[in-house]
C-alpha cells in the first residue's frame, strides 16, 4: 500500500542513526543516540555500594533518572523511568554484584518522535560502555499503525500524533555464535525472536499489533548491526601490547 510520509521515507525505513560512546568525562559510561532529529544522552554511574530500602539486597539494583528537555519532572517521566528500569533489569545480570546500585541518567536533548526507543538504545550503549555485565543487548523500535491498517516504522512527532495507535517494542539483539544452527533455540525459535518490552498507546486491532511486531522484528536486525558496529569502533584495538 503506497504511503506518503512527510520526509519521503517508505514505511519500513528508519531515520539516520548515530551513536557515540564515552562522551562524558566523569560518568563511568555514557552514550548519545540519535535517530533523525530525536537525540538522547545516557550516562551510567556505578555500580555503587548499597541499595535502596525497597530493593532486594541479594541482587544489584538499577535506578533510572529521566530528565526532560524542559519543564518539571511529572508523571510521564516517572512512567518512562519505570519502563526503562524494568527493561534494563531484564537484560543485566543482577546476581554478579549484589547489594549495589547502578544509576542510569537519561537526558532528552531533542524529541522528534520515538523518544522512548531512542532512550532505551542509548541506555543500552551506555551500560556496555560502563562494563556492566549483561546477558545480551536490547534494541528498541517504534511502530505505529494507522486507520487503514498499514504500519510504519520510526515515526516523527507529527506522524505519531496523526496515527491511530503506536507501539514501542524492544527486542534482544542478534548474536554471533559458534554453535551450530538450531542448537540454541528457546522453545523452538532463535533467541532473537523474543521480545523484552512492549508499550502501546492508542487503539489497534490484534492483527495490526502482530503486523507491527513482525515489521519491528525485521528492523531490529538492522539496528542490532548498527549497534555492534558502533561498539566495535569505540573499543580499543591492539596498542603496543607485546604478543
Partner 1 sequence: MEAKPSTANLVDKIVVPGDVVLDLSSMTNQTIKLGGGLRQECDSVSVIKAGKLRFSKPNKYWVESSQKRYVPCVEDTVLGIVVDCKADNFFVDIRGPTIAFLPVLAFEGGTRRNIPKFEIGSLLYVRVVKANPGMNPELSCTDASGKAAEFGLLKDGYMFETSTGLSRMLLSSPTCPVLEELGKQLSFEIAVGLNGRVWVNAESPSTVVLVSNAIMNSESLSAVQQKIMVDKLLQRIK
Decide: is 242 part of the binding site for partner 1 (CB under 8 A): yes
Count the site residues for partner 1 by CB under 8 A: 47
Choice between 129 and 159, CB closer to partner 1:
129
Nearest alpha carbon to residue 28 among 43, 15, 13: 43
Nearest approach, Cβ of residue 45 and partner 1 (Å): 9
Question: 209 vs 13, 108, 151, 237, CA distance in Å?
Answer: 18, 28, 9, 43
Stretch of 4-12, 77-85, 108-116, 123-131 lying at the interface with partner 1 (CB under 8 A):
123-131
CA distance 73 to 17: 27
Q: What is the rounded (10 degree) CA torsion for 187, 189, 190, 192? A: -100
Nearest distance from C-beta of residue 108 to partner 1, angstroms: 24
86 binding partner 1? (CB under 8 A): no
The three cell numbers locating residue 84: 526503562
Task: Give CA–CA dist 129/231, Å, rounded.
Answer: 8
The residue (of 5 and 175) whose beta carbon lies closer to partner 1 is 175
Cβ distance to partner 1 smaller for residue 5 or 234: 234
Stretch that binds partner 1, among 7-15, 93-101, 106-114, 159-167 (CB under 8 A): 93-101
Which residues are CB-contacts of 94 (< 8 A; sequence separation ≥ 6)?
A: 59, 60, 61
Does residue number 7 form part of the binding site for partner 1 (CB under 8 A)?
Answer: no
The Cα–Cα gap between 149 and 135 comes to 36
Q: Which stretch binds partner 1 (CB under 8 A): 33-41, 109-117, 133-141, 210-218?
A: 133-141
The binding site for partner 1 (CB under 8 A) comprises: 28-29, 46-49, 93, 96-100, 128, 130-131, 133-137, 172-184, 190, 221, 224-225, 227-228, 231-232, 235-236, 239-242
Amino acid at each position: 500500500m503506497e504511503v506518503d510520509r512527510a520526509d519521503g521515507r517508505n514505511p519500513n525505513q528508519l531515520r539516520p542513526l548515530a551513536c557515540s560512546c564515552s562522551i562524558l568525562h566523569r560518568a563511568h559510561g555514557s552514550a548519545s543516540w540519535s535517530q533523525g532529529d530525536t537525540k538522547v544522552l545516557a550516562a551510567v554511574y556505578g555500580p555503587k555500594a548499597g541499595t535502596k530500602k525497597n530493593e532486594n539486597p541479594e541482587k544489584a539494583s538499577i535506578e533510572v533518572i529521566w530528565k526532560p528537555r524542559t519543564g518539571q519532572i511529572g508523571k510521564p517521566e516517572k512512567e518512562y523511568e519505570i519502563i526503562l528500569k524494568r527493561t534494563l533489569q531484564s537484560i543485566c545480570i543482577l546476581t554478579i554484584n549484589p547489594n549495589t546500585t547502578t544509576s542510569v541518567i537519561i537526558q532528552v536533548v531533542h524529541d522528534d518522535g520515538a523518544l522512548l526507543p531512542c532512550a532505551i538504545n542509548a541506555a543500552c550503549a551506555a551500560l556496555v560502555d560502563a562494563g556492566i555485565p549483561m546477558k545480551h543487548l536490547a534494541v528498541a523500535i517504534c511502530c505505529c499503525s494507522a486507520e487503514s491498517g498499514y504500519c510504519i516504522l520510526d515515526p516523527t512527532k507529527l506522524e505519531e500524533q496523526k496515527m491511530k495507535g503506536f507501539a514501542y517494542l524492544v527486542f534482544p539483539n542478534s548474536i554471533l555464535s559458534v554453535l551450530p544452527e538450531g542448537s540454541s533455540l528457546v522453545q523452538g525459535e532463535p533467541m532473537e525472536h523474543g521480545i523484552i518490552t512492549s508499550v502501546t498507546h492508542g487503539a489497534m486491532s490484534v492483527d495490526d499489533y502482530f503486523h507491527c511486531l513482525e515489521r519491528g522484528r525485521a528492523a531490529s536486525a538492522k539496528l542490532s548491526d548498527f549497534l555492534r558496529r558502533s561498539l566495535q569502533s569505540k573499543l580499543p584495538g591492539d596498542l603496543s601490547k607485546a604478543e
